[in-house]
Structure 1
Amino acid sequence: MTVALWDSLPASTNPQEAQHFKLYKALGKNHPLLPGLEGVMKFMEHYELLASAEKHGVPVRYGQPEDWKDKAEAFGTTKS
């Protein structure tokens, strides 16, 4: 890891905790080891597919973006 990348990481654990929440909501908790690892692999493959699609310009959602995303793009902030 480069020094610049290390310095750009957030000092809080909020992103990590948010990802854990997303993982638990998708897969549940307290699985035996091998079924749990299989679930994590499927979770990872799903997000790799989304990242690849977005990288190549393929839409990764249905419908219009949320209002707050439009506001952030137009004004550079989501706050009033």
Structure 2
Amino acid sequence: MNVLAEWTALVCKELGVDPEKVDRDAVLDLTRDVAHGVARPAAPLTAYLLGLAQGAGTASPDALERLSMLARNWGQATAETLGDH
């Protein structure tokens, strides 16, 4: 078991989360997309906010994928928004 897997297992145990329900690779992909597309500090914040929404039951089933897409398209969306003014 590598360090990331060990850490994930430990955190899941501490938080009472079923590790089988954690898509670690998808979360890492999301944070990569946000860090590269938006800003590095936005990556952990986005993951945290997604976790809050998941826990509250307000996140859509495709929320992770939608957030990744928003992050990948952030530059274009920002340019379009700024051009509208």
Question: TM-score under structure 1 normalisation?
Answer: 0.34
The structure with the greater share of residues assigned to helix is 2
> 1 or 2 for the larger relative contact order (CA 8 Å, sep ≥6)?
2
Question: TM-score under structure 2 normalisation?
Answer: 0.33
